[in-house]
Amino acid sequence: MAEIVLEIKNLAKFFGKTKVLRDISLTVEKGDVIAIIGPSGSGKSTFLRCLNLLEEPTRGELIFQGKTYFNIVKCKNDFVDYDAYHKALDKYEEELVRTEDNLAIYQNLKIEGSDDPDLLNKIKAAKKEFKEVRKHPVQKIDYYDAKRYEEAMKNTPKFSISSGEINKIRSKINMVFQSFNLFENKNVLNNCCLAQEKVLKRSKAEAKEVAFKELAAVNMQDRMNYYPRELSGGQKQRVAIARALCMNPEVILFDEPTSALDPEMVDEVLNVMKKLASEGRTMIVVTHEMNFAKNVANKVLFMDKGYVVESGNPKEVFENPKTQRLKQFLKM
């Protein structure tokens, strides 16, 4: 029976009224290579960022290494009366504009040399009114249904996680970004050593030994003393992959790792990822590289508008799409 490494249940992420992720569930087994495909803006990258808590989920469960993490901190967004909130917001903005315009009129009269004896008092009063309006911006939290929210609170376990635990999760569910995110003021070797020393508390000597090994694994051992500005895009991404490997992660998240590369550099990064997959690494990859998803992944998720619309093995997803939306996407 396959070992479950990571389990996600009903994960959602809202930014105010915008629902970016809508109750996504996923089981990740050891050795899985999961490709996430879908149009831009479908929530793929946000989903990855929620998995290692670079983004706080609005709600849902993240079960990793036998521990369940909950987050209901922002669930009040689920209970906001948005009609009332937007009406109040419109009124607030109207008042802000009105009082600011009123102040500007009096100030301009002063500049123009008006001989109104009460002008200074009018300016003072207009300033006070403008400041008073600005003191009380409209907050969504003022427009939520407290009774329904409190009821939900009673029935939902609380999110509780320390910064130390977050760092541990991020080291074990490690991210490779599309824009590399290397430290420009540090050479390749130091880029690979820093998190080992800070998070894993490895000695400098041990961190260097691990870095040498992982840089060699991605064929970047001859660039250890180079700085990111001296590397090509493909080389930078291979260093970023080596840096992730240095943390000995349980899961590696790849957020469109080839999208920022010139076409001739794409293969060098994909070849490294194929090698990792062949070694049994557990990987979740947001990608537009359909051949990688077809030929390397063992599971494929198709996302659109914050939902997982379809999922399955590559043959099912690519050769027998069930929804019209996926059929459309695959024709693009």
Furthest-apart CA pair in the chain: how many Å? 89
For residue 152, pLDDT over 90 is answered with no
- Compute the CA torsion angle 103, 104, 107, 112 (nearest 10 deg): -150
Q: What would the pLDDT profile of 179-236 be if each residue is shown by its tens digit?
A: 999 999 999 999 999 999 999 999 999 999 999 999 999 999 999 999 999 999 999 9
- Band of pLDDT at residue 158, cut at 50, 70 and 90: low
Q: Residue range 264-287: average pLDDT?
A: 94
Query: Which is higher by pLDDT, 128 or 85?
Result: 128
Q: What pLDDT is recorded for position 67?
A: 79
Cβ–Cβ under 8 Å, residues 54 and 321 = no
Percentage above 70 pLDDT, the chain: 92
Q: How far apart are CA 138 and CA 86, in angstroms?
A: 9
Mean pLDDT of the chain: 88
Give one DSSP letter per residue of 11-44, joined into a string: EEEEETTEEEEEEEEEEEETT-EEEEE--TTSSH
Give the three-state DSSP class for 103: helix
pTM of the model: 0.73
Among 142, 11, 151, smallest CA distance to 80 is for 142
Of 23-32, 71-80, 90-99, give the lowest mean pLDDT range: 71-80
Length of the chain: 332
Q: Residue range 109-122: average pLDDT?
A: 86
